[in-house]
Structure 1
Amino acid sequence: MDRDGGRERARAVPGMGSTALTRGGRNRLDQPLPPRRKLLPDYDPEAFGVLSERIARFLGTGRFIVWMTLIIAMWLVWNITAPTWLRWDPYPFIFLTLMLSLQASYAAPLILLAQNRQDDRDRVTHEQERKQNERSIADTEYLTREIAALRMGLGEVATRDWIRSELQDLVRDMVEHRVVFPAETVHGHEDSDR
């Protein structure tokens, strides 16, 4: 009876195949899957990376060394000079060693994570700089070709000095051949050409 009802529903809704309705909507492709339960907590990798960089940056400062030295010194002084029933870490200082090992075991991966993120940023920066350098080289080559074309074009253009030297050569040739210009008359007066 359920099969017949499913077929009837498939016929009633255009564009819906019977396979989508007979499955009860569990594996429908037009519906998102319900979120799965995860064993590990969900976190934002970017926020975690930023936090790790801040911690790594703090671990690399003199302030961290001063605070760490003060805490260890107070720890040692307290566990040596305090009454026996108030000491939480007697002489071999095993708990202090454990705490320092724990701090080091967390600091090393955080520092490596921060370095990896910095390497990724450096890689992107170097790629951008490389592309910018390629564009600059291409622009420089283009401008060099344009300047060379202008120089070649200017080599064929007559300059003022060249025209002056040509005119001086013509004047010398005329003086050598003794070409005389007739004097012009203006209102009955003769003016010599200079």
Structure 2
Amino acid sequence: MPPERETVRDRTPAGATAAGRTRARLDQPRPPRRRLLPEWDPDAFGRLSERIARFLGTGRFLFWMTVAIVMWVVWNVAAPRELRFDQYPFIFLTLMLSLQASYAAPLILLAQNRQDDRDRVNLEQDRKQNERSIADTEYLTREIAALRIGLGEVATRDWIRSELNDLIKELEERGNGHHDRGVFPAGHPRRRDADDR
């Protein structure tokens, strides 16, 4: 007889739980993995970069940066030689300004990218709102046109008044020609006009 295949149930000891099995279960979430690199919130980092970029674009930043550079230069020119930390070509000052510029440029670009994304979302919402407004306007235009067509077939007060005046004049003219028989003679049957049909 050939040996039977060993199943997962056969390999699992009697008291083992589902967590002890080597096979992963699809109905449960995986445990979080350990990461070597630290995790950060990109949205929080983007907000911080926008705050820094806004500050770099203010007159306050330019004023304090100018004050710091002037104090740096004055200290390294006028202070006693043993207290100076950056001699005349001011290489350390150049290095600090280059470092500040190398960080400021990507932060400003990141803030601009976030602003572009917001502008794109706003433009999409404005476009959808404009489409809805155009559709509403077209609907209202069709409704107003239908009302005008409907009102064209409705008898107005002036039209009814003019028709009644014409009818009164016609009756008066008939009455003047037939004083003895009246408006509707007794032997004459009342017939409807062809226009009333």
Answer yes or no: same fold by TM over 0.5: yes
- Equivalent-residue separation in structure 2 for 1:145 and 1:47 (angstroms): 50
Task: Find the counterpart in structure 2 of residue 37 from structure 1.
Answer: 35
Letter in 1 for 2:38: P
Match of 2:172 in 1: 175
For 1:11 and 1:82, the matched residues in 2 are separated by: 82
TM-score by length of 2: 0.77
Alignment of 1:130-169 (within 5 A): 130-169=127-166
Q: What does the per-residue CA deviation read over 1:23-66, in whole Å, with 9 as the maximum and x for residues that have no partner? A: xx3x624562552332x332110110000000000011111110
3-state DSSP class of the match of 2:97?
helix
Structure 1 match to 2:186 = none
Structure 2 matches for 1:39-118, cutoff 5 A? 40-118=37-115
Q: Which runs of 5+ in 1 are unaligned?
A: 183-194
Matching residue of 2:24: 28
- Mapped partners of 2:169, 2:13: distance in 1: 111
Displacement of 1:67: 0.7
Task: State the TM-score, normalizing by the size of structure 1.
Answer: 0.78
Number of aligned residue pairs: give it: 170
How has the CA–CA distance of structure 1 residues 6 and 149 changed in structure 2, closer, same or farther, with 3 Å as cutoff? closer
Paired residue secondary structure (1:66): helix
The code of the aligned residue for 1:153 comes to G
Q: Aligned residues: percent identity?
A: 69
Q: 1: CA distance between counterparts of 2:160 and 2:30?
A: 86
Tell me how far apart the structure 2 counterparts of residues 9 and 85 of structure 1 sit (CA, whole Å): 79
Alpha-carbon distance in 2 for matches of 1:132, 1:123: 14
Opposite residue 28 of structure 1, the aligned amino acid is: A
**How far off is 1:146 after superposition?**
0.9
1:12 to partner: Cα distance: 5.1
Q: Quick one: which amino acid aligns to residue 117 of structure 1?
A: R
Unaligned runs of at least 5 residues, structure 2: 1-5, 184-197
SS of 2:89's equivalent in the other structure is coil
Change (3 A) 1:120 1:5: closer
Q: Which has the higher contact order (CA 8 A, sep 6+)?
A: 2
RMSD over aligned CA atoms reads 2.7
